[in-house]
Chains A and B, each alone.
Chain A
Amino acid sequence: MTIWMIARGAGLSALILLTAATCLGALVSGRTATRPDTRVLLQYAHRVTASLGLAVLGLHLTMILADSFAHVGWMGALIPFTSGYRGLWVGLGSIAAYTFLLVAVIGFARGRLTGSARATAAWRAVHGAGYGAWALAMLHGLRSGTDSGVAWVRWIYLACLVAVIGSVAARAVVAASPGRFRAVDGVAR
């Protein structure tokens, strides 16, 4: 029973951490903060929450596999939509995990990838798949999570939703202001 509780707690914790990583990612790329020092700190926070989130996600997966009563199994966890238990919603969780992993890997390799013109040009679009992974993770949690009916858990989901929508909106507002060189515009004119 303890394993099952750890699995549930890890799932929720991973969602919270990866939500924070998503929000920080939106804020750091959207130039909502302008001071370079602040943005460096935001970047670190983005990387730390993302790494922790992935680690806790690993724990979530391990515990699900370890729990013989969960009826998910290796196949169900690793191959989307093959789980006996809520196949569709567990499958979405698997896809979210793979996507987060891909996004983290190219995030980690960011500095090295600037060696290639094509990788540099594609980087932002590919890394942006993290937003999709976050949305899938939310659906996965809501529909296959045992605790989704609990009131305070529902509040957490709502807070996650509001946080990401707010960060993305803040980014979109900055991105909509005209022209390139926004970061230096104040200085230059």
Chain B
Amino acid sequence: MTLEIDWTRCDGHGLCAALLPDRISRDEWGFPVLHGTKLPPDTAVRRAVAACPALALRLTRT
């Protein structure tokens, strides 16, 4: 699965980084930085996708 960010929706809330600290960090403005986009579809990743207040995260099959 690939984790993608819709940058037109992302407002830098930071919930994804709080839930996936070893996969997502935040840049100096607060926007997420993905450490590799290929992810196993595990619970933690799905939880982060569901937590995004702006619905800016999505998992796609690739």
Contact = CB atoms under 8 A, between A and B. Distances in A.
The answer on direct contact between A and B (beta carbons under 8 Å) is yes
A40 B19 contact: yes
Interface in B13-27: 13-15, 17-19
Given A31-B53, A39-B13, 11 more contacts: A28-B53, A31-B13, A39-B53, A40-B15, A43-B51, A113-B55, A114-B49, A114-B57, A114-B59, A123-B55, A184-B29
How many residues of B sit at the interface, in one of the four size bands?
Answer: 20 to 34
A149 interface: no
A120 B50 CA distance: 12
Interface of A: 28-29, 31, 36-37, 39-40, 43, 110-111, 113-115, 120, 123-124, 180-184, 187-188
Contact of B28 (A40, A181, A187): A187
A118 to B, nearest CB: 12
B40 interface: no
Contacts of A114: 6, 49, 52, 55-59
A53 B60 CA distance: 32
Contacts of B55: 110, 113-114, 120, 123-124
B30 A183 contact: yes
Contacts of A182: 11
Nearest to A43: B51
Contacts of B59: 111, 114-115
Contacts of B50: 110-111
A39 B11 contact: no
B46 interface: yes
